[in-house]
């Protein structure tokens, strides 16, 4: 009996093994089509009938075997319909193999159908793998025990064989359960690896992110046979519904969504996946989820996609069958998402590489280990003139001038060997290249070595340096010209650097060096302290230090019979002073000319302010001085007096004695006034014609009148004849006025006041002094 049950175990093992080939994937009762359910039923019933060939007969028409286990398998993989169909087919085999319809056969068929019904109903309702197998195994053992126990008892047979069958049924069920669990995990790993491989391989031909998302949805939908899928991209806390896959059709959308639209959006930002296995029990409450619920979705998973430690998208999958998705499926999808991140990283790297290569004006050429060209960019096309089709597959010596080919190829192989030995990866050199039209031009070539899939490649960046070489030649020419200019120019150009605490000369040239008795050799390499004149050392050290701090310094100084002007220009590199260029000019002649000009200007200014006949200040100078004294008095306080003086009967003097005598008379009177004014520190001026004026600072009316009287008396004492005058000699009439600071007015008003006093003196008989009429602003005698 035991041997027959062992044979049944081998049949069960064979059925499980062969299922790996018959079914590409372990069937899922919740996703099985009617065709798949039919295949499951036929497959399991075949092995159930096969087991009956190794049955143990315990009574007439009563046979013991493990045919109930295939029914349990059919229920697990195909649900109620597969279980009932399998029970029916096994029952048909029972009738065909063991004598047709008999009461025993009918009872056995009823047992198989009952187990098929119970196990199928349990499979439709119980989602837990362990719980389902425990329920179905217990039901099979209970009802088969009742059935065979009754049969054995009715035939007067001992019940000892029954417990053996029950034991084998339990062991067989547990064996199958363990094998299926092992197969399920094996299938999961196998399909995960295969799907990862397929997805990664399919991503190679995709050149944008949206197509990667679409491919991901299609692959996962095909893998799980789901009804709907979508991708929500996440950028800068904004959400975009990229596309929607429904019933095999993908639609690009690109519209904005928000967390209220999809419940899993906000949790996904922290990297947390969400599952809603049965929407009839608990469904997400987003607005978009309300819409797809109306379209029949009853189960969903939501898995975030991470890239560079950030959540960049949310993958959503939905199915119309309740409990379609479970934690195992969600874990499976989570294990697949790194391949999406890897594809995004690859796409980003390829995009960056392509943008660099395509936008580079330099030629970028890649050669294989045989030094044949395998990659050729637009920059290489522009540089050499060959198109990509013309260059690919050609040896690199196509780009080398014929006269240099042997030399350069030897050098290239030597460089490659050196890079291998030193494990260096890059070197740069200058050489000559050859264009398609045969012209030879200078190039800069940078080599690097890398490997991919065990194949060595040599990449090079080739730059046309024709313009640079031309510029270098022009720079050399300019440098020579500049050196000649510096050497032959009249001044001196020097450069210095600060080394430690000393300023060291690095350049000194110019024709002026000979004039001051120095040579370039005496300065270059020496310090300021060892070459500067002692009297100028402190001054020059201060200027050198200021320039080294970054300031532009201009200064003028003398030494011996020379006067020099120097300009210090700091040269900055990376924000630091690296050296200072000093330009020195001999301005001795210019300084002499400037001093002569200053003296001439001083004399001119003096002449412009002095009356040419009398030597006193003129009217222009008087007006300026009066304005200054008026403002000073008003600001500082005190008093200010003004005196106006006129020679009496001067017109008749001119008529009688002539203009020469008249000029002599004016000079005599002016000298007298000037002497008195200089002695007191007053300002005397010729106001016009025979009229004079004098400004008396810090003097009141009494003081002014006394000064005026002294002048009048001195002129009278000269006794210069004027026969037509009343006194018979030259006399003067004088008017004076004085103001306190708070009452001082404008200059014109002051002159008018003093002038009125002068007219009063003339009206009173001439040869006298009269103060201004009493006013509130005047100072009384």
Average pLDDT of the residues in 428-440: 87
pLDDT of residue 62: 65
Residue 734 has pLDDT above 90, yes or no: yes
> For 420-441, what is the mean pLDDT?
75
Query: Confidence band (pLDDT; 50, 70, 90) for 774?
Result: very low
pLDDT digits (tens, 9 = 90+) for 29-76: 656 678 888 888 888 888 888 878 777 666 666 666 777 888 888 888
Has residue 211 been placed in a domain?
no
pLDDT tier, 781 (very low <50, low <70, confident <90, very high otherwise):
very low
Chain-centroid distance, C-alpha 41: 66
Any domain includes 202: no
Is residue 595 situated within a structural domain? no
What's residue 376's pLDDT?
87
The model's pLDDT over 372-392, given as tens digits with 9 standing for 90+, comes to: 888 888 888 888 899 988 989
508 with 642, same domain: the answer is: no
Across 515-528, average pLDDT: 83
Predicted confidence band at 775 (pLDDT cuts at 50, 70, 90)? very low
| % of the chain residues with pLDDT over 90 | 19
Three-state DSSP state, 307: strand
Burial class (CB in 10 A: 0-12, 13-18, 19+), 213: buried
Sign of CA dihedral 366, 368, 371, 376: negative
Inform me whether the pLDDT recorded for 776 exceeds 50: no
Structure tokens at 763: 């009206």
Question: Residues 495, 579: contact at Cβ < 8 Å?
Answer: yes
Phi (first) and psi of residue 725, to 5 degrees: -85, 160
Q: How far apart are CA 380 and CA 402, in angstroms?
A: 19
Task: Please say if the pLDDT value at position 545 is more than 50.
Answer: yes
d(CA 507, CA 6): 106
* 636 and 500 fall within a common domain: no
Do residues 6 and 153 both lie within one domain? yes
Between 531 and 163, the more confident residue is 531
- Beta strands of 683-760 (E only): which ranges? 683-688, 691-697, 732-740
Length of the chain: 781
Instruction: Return the pLDDT at 669.
Output: 94
Does residue 425 surpass a pLDDT of 70? no
| Between 89 and 418, the higher pLDDT residue | 89
Whether 599 is catalytic = no
Whether 14 and 128 share a structural domain = yes
Instruction: Give this prediction's pTM.
Output: 0.41
* Tokens matching residue 110: 């009823």
Please check whether residue 68 is in contact with residue 115, taking contact to mean a CB–CB distance below 8 angstroms: yes
Q: Based on the fold, state whether residues 136 and 18 are members of the same structural domain.
A: yes
pLDDT at 9: 65
Angle CA 774–776–778, to nearest 5: 60
Which CB contacts under 8 angstroms, 24+ apart, belong to 120-123? Answer: 120/74, 120/75, 120/79, 120/80, 120/81, 120/82, 120/83, 120/84, 121/80, 122/75, 123/29, 123/75, 123/76, 123/79, 123/80, 123/83
Question: Based on the domain organization, do 455 and 509 belong to the same domain?
Answer: no
| CATH value at residue 551 | 3.30.450.20
Sheet holding 691-697, edge to edge: 683-688, 691-697, 639-647, 732-740, 769-771
Q: Report the C-alpha gap between 99 and 103 in whole angstroms.
A: 11
Percent of the chain predicted with pLDDT > 70: 82
User: Within a domain: residue 205?
Assistant: no
Among 425, 440, 464, where does a domain finish?
464
What pLDDT sits at residue 131? 82
For the chain, the C-alpha Rg in angstroms (whole number) is 60
Together in a domain, 583 and 642: no
Contact 552, 569 (CB under 8 A): yes
Contact 556, 565 (CB under 8 A): yes
Lowest mean pLDDT among 120-124, 363-367, 424-428: 424-428
CATH of the domain at 337: 3.30.450.40
| Same domain, residue pair 458 and 486 | no
The residue behind tokens 């094996």 is 186
SS3 string, 74-142, reads HHHHHHHHHHHHHHHHHHHHHHHHCCCCCHHHHHHHHHHHHHHHHHHHHHHHCCCHHHHHHHHHHHHHH
The alpha carbon of 135 is separated from its chain's Cα centroid by a whole number of angstroms, namely 65
Name the residue among 79, 120, 129 with its Cα closest to residue 327: 129
pLDDT band at 207 (very low <50, low <70, confident <90, very high): low
Show the 3-state SS of 413-437: HHHHHHHHHHCCCEEEEEEEEECCC
Judge whether residue 730 has pLDDT over 50. yes
CATH number of domain containing 631:
3.30.70.270
Q: Look at residue 268 and tell me whether its pLDDT is greater than 70.
A: yes
CA distance 283 to 289: 8
The answer to whether residue 639 is domain-embedded is: yes
For residue 48, the tally of other CB atoms under 10 A from its CB is 28
Which of 211-225, 553-567, 724-738 shows the highest mean pLDDT?
Answer: 724-738
Contact 708/645 with Cβ under 8 angstroms?
yes
For residues 218 and 195, the answer to whether their CB atoms sit within 8 Å is no
Q: Tell me, what's the pLDDT at 768?
A: 93
User: Do residues 167 and 236 both lie within one domain?
Assistant: no
252: part of which helix (H) or strand (E)?
Answer: strand 249-257
CB atoms < 10 A from the CB of 168, how many? 22
Please check whether residue 209 lies inside any domain of the structure. no
How much is the pLDDT for 30? Answer: 59
Q: Indicate if the pLDDT at residue 759 is higher than 90.
A: yes
Pair 33, 166 in one domain: yes
Tally of domains within the chain? 5
State both tokens at 419.
């890079």
The DSSP secondary structure of 657-686, one letter per residue, reads H-HHHHHHHHHHHHHHHHHHHHHHT-EEEE
Between residues 30 and 512, which one has the greater pLDDT? 512
Most confident range, picked from 19-33, 223-237, 536-550, 587-601:
536-550
Asked if 696 and 643 count as a contact pair (C-beta separation under 8 A), the reply is yes
Work out the pLDDT band at 24, boundaries 50, 70, 90.
low
Average the pLDDT over 219-244 and give the result: 84
Q: Which residue has the tokens 């417990």?
A: 163
CA–CA gap between residue 627 and residue 658 (Å, rounded): 36
Instruction: Assess whether pLDDT exceeds 90 at residue 713.
Output: yes
In a domain, 776, yes or no: no
pLDDT at 233: 87
227 shares a domain with 87: no
Asked if pLDDT for residue 359 goes beyond 80, the answer is no
Whose tokens are 């003086």? That residue is 645
Q: Residue 410 and residue 423: Cα distance in Å, rounded?
A: 20
State the chain's mean pLDDT as an integer: 81
Query: Residue 415: is its pLDDT beyond 50?
Result: yes
| 443 SS3 class | strand
DSSP reduced 3-state for 691: strand
Q: What's the pLDDT band for 325 if we cut at 50, 70, 90?
A: confident
For 613-644, write each residue's pLDDT tens digit. 898 999 989 999 999 999 999 999 889 999 99
Which residues span the domain enclosing 325?
A: 217-354
Neighbours of 249 (CB within 10 A): 7
- The pLDDT of residue 419: 56
For residue range 444-487, what is the model confidence (pLDDT) as tens digits?
A: 888 777 765 567 777 888 888 888 888 878 777 776 766 666 66
* Last residue in a domain, options 464, 480, 496: 464
pLDDT digits (tens, 9 = 90+) for 651-702: 999 989 998 999 999 999 999 999 999 999 999 999 988 999 999 999 999 9
Q: Which residue has the tokens 């944008």?
A: 208
State the DSSP code for 321: S
Q: Which of 554, 605, 690, 723 is catalytic?
A: 690
Residues 555 and 413 in one domain: no
Boundary residue ending a domain (590, 619, 651)? 590
Q: Residue 332: which of 26, 97, 587 has the closest Cα?
A: 26
For the stretch 141-193, pLDDT in tens is 888 778 777 766 666 665 556 666 677 777 777 777 777 777 666 666 666 56
> Poorest-confidence range of 162-166, 257-261, 294-298, 304-308?
162-166
Residue 256 has pLDDT above 70, yes or no: yes
Would the pLDDT of 22 be above 80? no
Q: Identify whether 145 is part of a domain.
A: yes
């Amino acid at each position: 009996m035991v041997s027959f049950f062992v044979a049944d175990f081998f049949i069960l093992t064979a059925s499980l093994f062969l299922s790996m080939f018959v079914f590409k994937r372990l069937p899922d009762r919740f996703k099985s089509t009617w065709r798949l359910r039919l295949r499951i039923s036929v497959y399991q019933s075949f092995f159930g009938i096969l087991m009956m060939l190794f049955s143990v007969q315990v009574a007439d028409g009563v046979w013991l075997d493990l045919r109930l286990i295939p029914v349990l398998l059919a229920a697990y993989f195909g649900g109620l319909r597969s279980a009932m169909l399998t029970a029916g087919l096994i029952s048909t085999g029972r009738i065909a193999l063991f004598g047709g319809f008999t009461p025993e056969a009918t009872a056995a068929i009823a047992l198989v159908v009952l187990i098929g019904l119970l196990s199928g109903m349990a499979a439709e309702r119980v989602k837990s793998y362990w719980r389902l197998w425990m329920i179905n195994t217990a039901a099979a053992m209970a009802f088969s025990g009742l059935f065979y126990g009754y049969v054995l008892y009715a035939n007067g047979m001992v019940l000892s064989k029954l417990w053996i069958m029950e034991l084998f049924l339990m062991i067989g069920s547990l064996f199958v359960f363990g094998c299926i669990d092992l197969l399920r995990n094996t299938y999961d790993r196998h399909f995960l690896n295969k799907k990862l491989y397929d997805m990664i391989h399919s991503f190679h031909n995709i050149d944008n992110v949206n197509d990667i998302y679409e491919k991901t949805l299609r692959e996962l939908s095909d893998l799980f046979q789901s009804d709907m899928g979508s991708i929500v991209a996440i950028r800068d806390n904004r959400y975009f519904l990229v596309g929607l896959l429904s019933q095999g059709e993908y639609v690009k959308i690109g519209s904005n969504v928000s967390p209220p639209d999809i419940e899993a959006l906000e949790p996904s930002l922290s990297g947390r996946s969400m599952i809603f296995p049965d929407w009839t029990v608990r469904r997400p409450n987003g607005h978009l989820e309300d819409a797809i619920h109306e379209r029949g979705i009853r189960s969903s998973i939501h898995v975030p996609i991470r890239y560079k430690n950030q959540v960049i998208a949310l993958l959503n999958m939905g199915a119309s069958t309740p409990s379609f998705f479970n934690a195992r499926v969600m874990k499976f999808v989570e294990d697949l998402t790194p391949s999406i991140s890897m594809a995004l990283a690859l796409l980003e790297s390829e995009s960056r590489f392509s943008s660099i290569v395509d936008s580079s004006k330099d030629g970028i050429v890649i050669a294989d280990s045989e030094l044949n060209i395998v990659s050729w960019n637009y920059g290489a096309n522009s540089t050499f003139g060959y198109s990509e089709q013309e260059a690919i597959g050609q040896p690199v010596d196509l780009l080398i001038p014929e006269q240099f080919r042997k030399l350069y190829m030897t050098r290239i192989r030597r460089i490659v060997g050196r890079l291998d030995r030193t494990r260096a990866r890059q070197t740069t050199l200058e050489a000559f290249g050859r264009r398609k039209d045969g012209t030879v031009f200078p190039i800069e070539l940078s080599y690097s070595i890398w490997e991919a899939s065990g194949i060595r490649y040599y990449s090079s960046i080739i730059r046309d340096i024709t313009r640079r070489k031309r510029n270098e030649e022009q720079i050399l020419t300019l440098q020579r010209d500049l050196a000649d200019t510096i050497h032959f120019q009249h001044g001196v150009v020097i450069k210095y650097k600060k080394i430690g605490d000393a300023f060291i000369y690095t350049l000194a040239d110019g024709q002026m060096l000979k004039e001051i008795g120095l040579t370039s050799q005496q300065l270059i390499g020496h310090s300021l302290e060892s070459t500067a004149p002692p009297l100028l050392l402190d001054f020059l050290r201060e200027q050198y230090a200021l320039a080294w701090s970054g300031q532009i310094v201009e200064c003028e100084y003398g030494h011996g019979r020379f006067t020099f002007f120097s300009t210090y220009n700091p040269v900055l590199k990376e924000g630091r002073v690296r050296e200072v260029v000093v330009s020195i000019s001999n301005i001795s002649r210019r300084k002499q000319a400037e001093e002569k000009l200053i003296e001439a200007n001083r004399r001119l200014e003096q002449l412009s302010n002095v009356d040419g006949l009398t030597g006193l200040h003129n009217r222009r100078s008087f007006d300026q001085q009066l304005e200054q004294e008026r403002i000073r008095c008003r600001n500082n306080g005190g008093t200010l007096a003004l005196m106006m003086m006129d020679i009496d009967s001067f017109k008749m003097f001119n008529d009688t004695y002539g203009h020469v005598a008249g000029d002599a008379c004016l000079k005599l009177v002016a000298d007298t006034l000037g002497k008195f004014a200089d002695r007191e520190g007053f300002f005397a001026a010729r106001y016009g014609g025979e009229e004079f004026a004098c400004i008396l600072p810090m003097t009141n009316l009494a003081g002014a009148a006394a000064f005026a009287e002294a002048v009048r008396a001195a002129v009278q004492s000269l006794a210069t004849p004027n026969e037509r005058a009343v006194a018979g000699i030259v006399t003067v009439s004088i008017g004076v006025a004085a103001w306190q600071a708070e009452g001082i007015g404008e200059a014109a008003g002051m002159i008018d006041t003093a002038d009125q006093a002068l007219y009063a003196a003339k009206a009173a008989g001439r040869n006298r002094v009269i103060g201004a009429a009493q006013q509130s602003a005047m100072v009384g005698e």
